[in-house]
Structure 1
Amino acid sequence: MRLILAAALSLALASPVLAQASDAERSMTATVEAEHGRHIELLERLVNQNSGTLNADGVRAVGEMVRQELEPLGFEVRWIDMSQTGRAGHLVATHAGPGRNVLLIGHLDTVFETDSPFQRFVREGARATGPGIGDDKGGVVVIVAALRAMQAAGTLADTNVTVVLTGDEERPGAPLETARRDLIEAGRAADFALEFENLAVEDGQDFGTVARRSSSTWTLTTSGRTGHSSGVFNEALGYGAIYEMARILDAFRRELPEPNLTYNVGVIAGGTPAGIDEAGFRVTASGKTNIVPETAIARGDLRTLTPEQDARVRARMAAIVAEHLPRTEAQLQFSPVAYPPMAPSEGARELLARLNAVNRDLGLPEMAEYDPARRGAADSGFVAADVPTLAGLGVAGGGAHAEGEWVDLNSLVRQSQRAAVLISRLSLGGD
């Protein structure tokens, strides 16, 4: 009864701008506002359950919390086990109405494993901190809040919605084709895809994400003849592994730059000997100043905006590596686990235009395109080649992947309102 009264009051007091929305859409906005406290409580429960990617039990526990939210709304919820990839699995929920299919994408896992000191939800007014609170548990709450508002307004009954929440977005399992099989299949079956990672906000202005860059990892290993340092640069010993490594990395720095491209070197070691662990995170080396180094190893990432850019840059990197200093060798390998780019497309821009129509009708600010070079990779990259995709529809905040990650709790309201109306219009054919 309290919810009904709040909705009626909100409708009665609707502004002239909000009055451009339909009665059902005004009901959605009122429901989101009335349930704001409930959404914050749900966010707190999700955040306080650790779901670091490698904490399989924790990821499944968060998935179970979401199941309890979606099943009462009429969704068929399945858990897709991914133990064969070394990960917990994914939650897939379907609501098979007669409308066009809208795919909603998010993830259950976070970068904060059980050994992290950052484990709890803390609220101070409209600001809250916690592990994964924005990336991506806030986005999951936006999905739930939007769907609840749609049910209250009566639009959910006829919508055709698929929700895919992966359990390994932060550290995908292998093989990747298995780890992302269900998401890719859902994308191919969808008419539209909406991804609920963090909202892009600058100087108080919300932005729409129509493109994201890829993310892949490379390993560079150089080798040289070892011996007494008095012979370095001569015909017998040549330049050694570290000079070859320095040549290649400096050539990357000088010759690769182009718009929307980055190529970070994350870790490096060289000496006699040098090595890297099986996981590719820890390098070791030893050596003396009077020994020409035998081996050097570096690992880094590569981020590109389109498949064409990715292929072009990889080819140039390989060409640079092949130009060896005397008596040295080098091998460049790219990891098979890679996030494809969400390349900019007319379909994505049309979705942003549809969202801005929602913004106008709800009296919310319109959203310009966000610079893709300022966004990381996400699961939306796996579906964007098959279906028009709009990303970054989660909550506003900052500090993702670091202790102190935070969100603006008030952004839950406007993001859930936007999402509820947009999903309804996309599925049911409204403008």
Structure 2
Amino acid sequence: MLATTLQQIAHVTGGRVTGAPAGGVPVPGPAYLDSRDPGPGGLFVALAGARTDGHDHVRDARAVLGTRPTTAPTVVVPDVTVALGRLARHVVDTRPVRVIAVTGSHGKTSVKEFLAAVLPDATATRGNENNELGVALTATRLPVGGGDLVVEMGARAVGHLTYLAGIAPPRISAVTALGHAHLGRFGSPELLAAAKAELPQATSGECVLAADDPRVLAMAERTWARVTTFGRSGDVGPEDVRLGADGRARFTLRTPGGRARVRLRVLGEHQVANACCAAAVALRAGAGLEQVVAGLERADGPGPHRLQRRRRHDGGLLLDDSYNASPASVVAALRTLAAVAPAGRRFAALGPMRELGDAHDRAHRAVAAAARRSGVDLVAVGEGAQVLGGTWVPDRSAAADLVRRTLRRDDVLLVKASRPERLDLLADDLCAP
């Protein structure tokens, strides 16, 4: 919570106050972006986008941060995003807080959710608000008494994580895994690794790295922080991993302080690595092994459309993993599909994976091969998905028609693609009454 005044916000951000009464304007609540869902007593951050301008939608806001005066008391600044970052850094600097930051090409949202369950009093990123706005908004929700601030940090380019670490300097950080995700955005594996290495470089205390990813493990040479590794060959890792017919993994968590059996609630064997990462971070944060296990088993998962069990309109099972996709995450979802459908027919409606650059065709062919090995019938959805093979359809509507004609009640369907393909709408359509 900000627990401040509009005048103090102006001082911190270098802005000027307009439209405020002489007595000042208290701002006890957090910053927020959606005027339809205001934080009680909070600061509305008015962003001017391509389609809408927040300055025109202040509604009944108590206070506004914007680039021009509004109908509510407003702090006017040249750049709202920069000003919000300064405000968030002020919150972090003036409260007893320990920042725990998580990055990686995949798995970071799940690790963050595991940590939020293990450290129940922590203030954590909501959803995947992992950019300069999301990290700053999370910091403004920190209680006055401080505590742990668990933030997911994404990177769009080299230098981005350095900027985010400037908003919330991490005492503890973790890098999950790199894989092939986002190579199209960064241009090469080397630049991707360099961008992610900025977080360990900015970490002052403890750094947790993936032992089974050589590019992540090499980051140990680029940080002054104490390094702990996780993974099958790491300091904290899994043993005796078993994936049940319910799609949930059971394993023995191996730590320097002992072993414990864990049964996850979230779906997918790939969540074992994420749970081990979170366990390593939590142990370095001072949590005991019993607390870690209880939190891991309590965690519900990273949110809607992220490998959820749903019922189709015909009563059949649908695995909805439509939020996003990378080669590693698609293969993991196919393994889960095989586990929950050991006898019946298996189908996967897959859209293209984006941001793979020159690896696009090669990665899609590898996914298709994994599907064939698992006995999965593929429905390739949309432009760019033809390389998957199987039955190709041009769009979501055609995919829905094909699925309804083809699947029987006992068949299990996986739906997955990169976020821009919006196959979440396909999943919702197939699950509608």
TM-score (norm 1): 0.23
Higher RCO (C-alpha under 8 Å, 6+ residues apart): 1
